[in-house]
Structure 1
Amino acid sequence: MGIVTVNGIDLAYEIHGDDDGLPLLLIGGLGQQLVGWHPDLLAALARRGYRAIVFDNRDVGLSTHLDHLGRPDLGAIIAGRFDLAPYGLADLATDALGLLTALGVESAHLLGLSMGGMIAQIAALRSPGQVRSLTSVMSHPGDHRVQPTREAIGLFLRPAPLDLEQSVLAAHEAYRVLGSPEFAPDEAWVRRRAEIYWDRRANPDGLLRQVAAVLSAPDRTAELAGLRPPTLVVHGGADPLVPVIGGRLTAAAIPAAELLEIDGMGHDLPRQVWDRVLDKLEDVVDRGEAGRHYLAAAS
């Protein structure tokens, strides 16, 4: 693991895979730490020839916690006071792109989960030269018609865990609500991930600041019509936090985007679907590499 200073904050990161592998930046969702990417998934990416870069977004894990910004007033933000958000998704996109620059990576393929998909979309819009391809998973384009279920919202209204065991119980409850109903859960991984998160500086207020960034983000639909990198959109048909309409709207907004809709998948990425997703990822990466070599030859 390393730490670099980007955009005025420290970002913790890890790199998995060979140095000459295709650069793939993985951008996590709300509260997701770099250790939230399953090690077997990272190993599978390395076997497929990727150099996978994972990192802690600001306000989680070992990256800078912006506690001086306080706890955001989510009620006021929901009511339209977007100016009260401590920072926006564009700041998180600047962090991600800055990490690539700090690591000497001129451009990379981007894969983002949930909030990470939103960040990846914005990064591709803001700096298309740094993005070889885009894969947006269980995300949406900022269209406010995409609304979570009441039970999913309830997860964010619970008191923050006060100790490790409460944190583990909260993780299992979140998995019960958000996980894939058609696939067997990996209960051991849910517990292990919660334990590691707790040890690496769990930050409930930081999570709320990230929620504020999502809630205050403008609709990107019109902008996404100008997106040019090859794009894959992945979404679960049983997602309660970002219902499947979010993936459909994302794919409809981006020219020539491919939509992979997986029946029975919730707001997670179960092991049983990894091969399907990685096969499709390989396709979009190949298209990104082909376009990049064509542009290089033409110049």
Structure 2
Amino acid sequence: MKITSNSIDIEVEDSGPGAVGEERPVVLLIMGLGMQLVAWPAAFVQALIDAGYRVIRHDNRDVGLSHRFEALGKPRLLLQGLRYKLGLKPQAPYSVADMAADSLGVLDALGIEKAHVLGVSMGGMIAQRIALAAPERVLSLSSVMSTSGAKGLAQAHPKVMRVLLSRPKGRDPQTVLKHYVRLFKAIGSPGFPTPEHEMRERILLGVERGYYPVGTLRQMLAIMADITRPAQLRRITAPTLVLHGKADPLLPFVHGEDTAKRVQGARLVGIEGMGHDLPPGVVTHLLAALLPHLKAAQAQAQFSTPVSDQNPLS
């Protein structure tokens, strides 16, 4: 369904509040760079529902069926990347904080006061921004295969970056599919390989639903420009779980370690053999850590009231 959030249209999937008189605690799931809400594994979503949660997913701006900022044009990544390397702030058409405001607007539109917030990769960065912007609305934070964004951390293997920054040679579904199969094989979990037919099926679903590569470039630039977040993470007050693959070739494990060090009281869980994807074996490990985290945070919520960040979105 479409809702209006932060003055733009956002596509949302909501598992619903449950039976009449039942108020299920909400888990807000936020996807990563260029990824759509359908990228969340069905088994992961269902496990949360079975555990008693109301699960809300949405397409971030500029991806899938949500608002596309076509008037902003194609960003000049090379130029802005050079600015970043020179110590200057890249000029982005919008910010990670804007995407956090979109997510909070989803909760507003659905009449939800508080939620457990979980994001993967770029979604983890957005989730961190939500926890900074509106701590009183975040029951817990879960940052999965994400990063603080701090400079100096180990970078992706050059082979992975070449694939990530490359583009399909055409726009027909099969050519695009071939490109993304190559990408997901490059960043996937060596300890939990996904059968290629399953990978192709999942990727094709997203390609046919809402392929929009220029939006991904604008999202990428927003990530590059989010340079103040590392120093601000110490202000996060929500109970925080950091989940990260020890075999992540895109954001090496040190990114998870750094995030956990910067958030006071955060718990870090490293998963052997996990890369930068969500195959069934990884989902099992994630849930084993996540479900107790959510339960403990839910119990803790009645005893704590976060204090708002005075400058949360800068």
Q: Would you say same fold, with TM above 0.5?
A: yes
Q: Does the CA contact (< 8 Å) of 2:41 and 2:278 recur in 1?
A: no
Q: Tell me, which stretches of 5 or more residues in structure 2 are unaligned?
A: 306-314
Q: Which residue of 1 aligns with 2:149?
A: 142
Q: Hey, what's the Cα distance between the residues in 2 that align with 1:263 and 1:48?
A: 25
Q: How does 1:54-203 map to 2 (within 5 A)?
A: 54-80=57-83, 82-146=89-153, 147-160=155-168, 161-203=170-212
Residue 184 (structure 1) shift:
2.6
Larger mean CA deviation between 59-68 and 268-277 belongs to 268-277
Match of 2:47 in 1: 44
Q: Where in structure 2 are the equivalents of 1:195-214 lying within 5 Å?
A: 195-214=204-223
Query: Cα RMSD over matched residues?
Result: 1.5
Please say which of residues 104-113 and 71-80 is displaced more in the overlay.
71-80
- 1:56–1:62 contact (8 Å) kept in structure 2: yes
Question: How far apart, in 1, do the equivalents of 2:173 and 2:304 lie?
Answer: 51
Amino acid at match of 2:152: R
**In 2: Cα distance, 1:73 partner to 1:34 partner:** 27
Native 8 Å contact 2:13 2:57 kept in 1: yes
- TM score, norm. by length of structure 2: 0.90
The Cα shift of 1:64 comes to: 0.5
* 1:229 paired to 2:232: no
Q: Which moved more, 1:273-282 or 1:99-108?
A: 273-282
Query: Offset of 1:73 from its aligned partner?
Result: 0.8
Give the superposition deviation at 1:138: 0.5
Question: Matched residues in 2 for 1:84 and 1:155: separation?
Answer: 24
Tell me which moved more, 228-237 or 213-222.
213-222
CA contact (8 A) 1:110 1:135 kept: yes
Structure 2 partner of 1:34: 37
CA contact (8 A) 1:15 1:53 kept: yes
State the partner residue of 2:309: none
The more displaced of 155-164 and 211-220 is: 155-164
TM-score by length of 1: 0.94
Picking from 238, 241, 249, the partner of 2:258 is: 249
Deviations 1:235-293 (A, max 9, x none): 00111111111000000001111101011110012211323211221222123212222
Cα contact 1:144–1:219 (8 A) shared by 2: no
* Number of residues of Structure 1 aligned to a counterpart in Structure 2: 295
CA apart distance, 1:172: 1.1
129-138 vs 9-18, which moves further: 9-18
Q: Deviations over 1:156-195 (max 9, x none)?
A: 3322341110121112101110000111314233212222
Distance 1:236 1:50 in 2: 25
Q: 1:181 to 1:158 in 2, by over 3 A?
A: same
Contact 2:118 2:127 in 1 (8 A): yes
| Conservation of the 8 A alpha-carbon contact between 1:238 and 1:244 | yes
In 2, are the aligned partners of 1:251 and 1:257 still within 8 Å (CA)?
yes
Measured after TM superposition, the shift of residue 5 of structure 1 is: 1.0
Flag structure 1 segments of 5+ consecutive residues without an equivalent.
Answer: none
CA pair 83-157 structure 1, distance change in 2 beyond 3 A: closer
CA drift at 1:17 = 5.7
Q: Distance in 1 between matches of 2:190 and 2:70?
A: 36
Structure 2 contact 90–221 (Cα < 8 Å) conserved: no
Q: Deviations over 1:37-80 (max 9, x none)?
A: 11222112111111110110001111011111011111121122
2:17, 2:288 → 1: CA distance?
20
